[in-house]
Amino acid sequence: MNMCMIEDHEGHVLIQNKVNDSYTGITFPGGHVEKEEIFKDAMIREVKEETGLTIKNPYLCGLYHWYKHSIHNIILVYKASEYEGTLHSSDEGEVYWIDEEDFLKQPLATGMEYVWDIVHKQHQECIMSNMGEHKRGDLF
């Protein structure tokens, strides 16, 4: 899977209020990689499908991963600041710009505070683990 933080040059980030699956809350656009698809191309395709924007030169920041039912799930976390197109929402959820400083104040989807750290604090990896009813992320 993949996810991309898109920023403009005015201190805003594009967020998505994910509503239609088990992963709900404020997140960044992204999704699954198709069979035989290059990761970067998958990121560009997913952003276009979910936002209407075509990103250019997405930068790979790091990995966010976890185990569920003995399956190792991995999200490649990207960042982009070059884009074109007209913003629109999709069935995945509403997309809109917010001030970057307000991101962590939003009702975030699980683990998004760690994704934020991957992009902003130069951690390259986060592994999520279950701690009873809570989840914990270890950043590397």
The token pair that represents 20 in the structure block: 């239609």
Q: Residue 37: helix, strand or coil by DSSP?
A: coil
**Predicted TM-score of the model (pTM):** 0.89
Consecutive sets of 10 residues in the chain, 140 residues long: mean pLDDT of each? Answer: 96 93 88 95 97 96 88 94 97 95 96 93 77 64
pLDDT tens readout for residues 119-136: 998 778 777 776 555 566
The DSSP 8-state label assigned to residue 34 in this structure reads: P
pLDDT digits (tens, 9 = 90+) for 18-31: 987 677 899 999 99
State the fold for domain 2-139. Answer: Nucleoside Triphosphate Pyrophosphohydrolase (3.90.79)
**Domain chopping of the chain, boundaries:** 2-139
Contacts of range 124-130, beta carbons closer than 8 Å, 24 or more positions apart:
124/61, 124/62, 124/63, 125/62, 125/63, 125/64, 125/65, 126/62, 126/63, 126/64, 126/65, 127/65, 127/66, 128/64, 128/65, 128/66, 129/66
